[in-house]
Amino acid sequence: MSESESPEMRRPLPEVAATQKPMSLASWVQLIALGVIWGASFFFARVAVMEIPPLTLVLFRVGIAAIALHLYLAARGISFVPVLKRSGSFFILAALNNVIPFSLIFIGQTELGAGLAAILNATTPFWTVIVANRLTVDERLTAHKLAGVLIGVAGTAVLVGPGVVADIGGPIWAKLAIIGAAVSYAFAVIYAKRFKDLGTTEVATGQLTASTIIMLPVVVMIDGVISFQSVGAEIWLHVLALALISTALAYLLYFTLIANAGATNASLVTFIVPVSAVLLGWLFLAERLQAYEIAGMLLIGVGLIVIDGRLAQSRRK
């Protein structure tokens, strides 16, 4: 490892202690930062998708991010060979964390509104708690974790507001598609723990490279060869922001968070994302902040406090 390489990015994905402690302040900062970055992705994608088909946009998103991380590895003198030796595992991670959930969310949102989709996607921590309890020995299900997750999901429903009622009558298959994406994310965050011997940068690069390879033939078959001559500079800036900030940087934070705080805690980002999207809209798009949105944010905050467990421990003491 070169002297200039960040130890945070080179840190392996270690096993979490059998008795998990509450998240550190640094991990909370990473979680909130990741939520803000992924919340901003809605703004970048909203503009870019007006001129670029969704699946093609996904390909650009993962492809440009993969190239950027390969350049980062090369600049730091970090070998990609260990990733290539386990390419099969990285294709599985890419499918679970990118290809399957992206596709299911896209399919589901053809029939469901964004509000209901956000609520169903926010069930990711619930499924992660269940999957972690079955497949790991270091992240067992506890009463405060389950209670906090349920409070967080309820908070997301309140945050989305009354408009979600109109979407409830959507087809069952569309709802199951979004839930399927949440379950896929849950398995992905658990599966990522097997790469504990690799640095977080290598894991992020391997996943995004495999995602690009998978998406390339899919896009060619479905979208075909597209001319981008009419795509303006502003659109490409949003594509670059989506790829470099909301994907490359985001996944570095994501895998670092798994290393530092565990799979269940990393999945809590799905509660932060809708909060950050609402706040960013209020700050930069002059969107009005509604009372129910504030109530939903407070409820999500309560859920995160319950999951953290520190308050309950102090009360018991």
Q: Model confidence over 226-270: pLDDT tens digits?
A: 778 788 888 999 999 999 999 999 999 999 998 888 888 888 888
> Could you give phi then psi for residue 199, rounded to 5 degrees?
-70, 155
Q: Is the pLDDT higher at 218 or at 229? A: 218
pLDDT of residue 312: 57
As given in the structure block, the two tokens for residue 97 are 């964390």
What is the Cα–Cα distance from 307 to 175, expressed in whole angstroms? Answer: 26
Reading the block at residue 220, the tokens are: 């060619």
The per-residue pLDDT for 313 is: 61
Is residue 140 scored above 60 in pLDDT? yes
Instruction: Say if CB 128 and CB 263 are below 8 A apart.
Output: yes
Report the pLDDT value the prediction gives residue 10, as an integer from 0 to 100.
52
Indicate the average pLDDT of the chain: 83
Please give the share of the chain, as a percent, with pLDDT higher than 70: 86
Q: CA–CA distance from 126 to each of 55, 203, 266, 289 (Å)?
A: 28, 24, 12, 28
On the question of pLDDT at 20 being above 50, the answer is: yes
> What CA dihedral angle connects 285, 290, 292 and 294, to 10 degrees?
70
6 pLDDT more than 70: no
- C-alpha angle 2/25/154, rounded to 5°? 125
Q: Give yes or no for a contact between 310 and 22, defined as CB atoms under 8 angstroms apart.
A: yes
Beta bridge partners of 199: 12
Phi/psi for 55 (5° steps) reads -65, -35
User: Per-residue confidence at 210, pLDDT binned at 50, 70, 90?
Assistant: very high
Closest CA to 101 of 33, 22, 184: 184
pLDDT bucket at 4, cuts 50 / 70 / 90: very low
Angle, alpha carbons 36-40-46 (nearest 5°):
160
pLDDT confidence of residue 254: 92
Q: Spell out the alpha helix ranges (H) of the chain.
A: 7-10, 25-48, 54-76, 81-84, 87-94, 100-108, 114-121, 124-135, 143-160, 172-191, 200-222, 233-243, 250-261, 263-267, 269-284, 291-308, 310-316
pLDDT at 163 over 50: yes
Neighbouring CB atoms inside 10 A of 121's CB total 22
Between 220 and 42, name the one with better pLDDT.
220
Whole-angstrom distance, CA of residue 242 vs CA of residue 249:
10
pLDDT band (50, 70, 90) for residue 118:
confident
Average pLDDT over residues 20-42: 84
pLDDT tier at 47 (50, 70, 90 boundaries)? confident
In sequence order, the β-bridge partners of residue 31 are none
Residue 17 DSSP one-character state: P
Please give the distance of CA 167 from its chain centroid, rounded to a whole number. Answer: 23
136/300 Cα distance (integer angstroms): 26
**Whether the predicted pLDDT of 298 surpasses 70:** yes
Lowest mean pLDDT among 45-54, 58-67, 217-226: 45-54
Give the model's pLDDT for residue 139. 72
- What the block records as the tokens of 64 is 């440009």
Q: What pLDDT score was predicted for residue 76?
A: 93
Range of weakest confidence among 14-23, 54-63, 81-90, 166-175: 14-23
What HEC string does 106-138 produce?
Answer: HHHCCCCCHHHHHHHHCCHHHHHHHHHHHHCCC
pLDDT of residue 95: 94
If you average pLDDT over residues 156-160, what whole number do you get?
82
> Which of the residue ranges 10-14, 201-205, 287-291 has the most confident prediction, judged by mean pLDDT?
201-205
No. of helices (H) and no. of strands (E), the chain: 17, 0
Report CA-CA distances (Å) from 305 to 2, 20, 266: 39, 15, 15
pTM confidence score = 0.80
Query: Is the pLDDT assigned to residue 311 strictly greater than 60?
Result: no
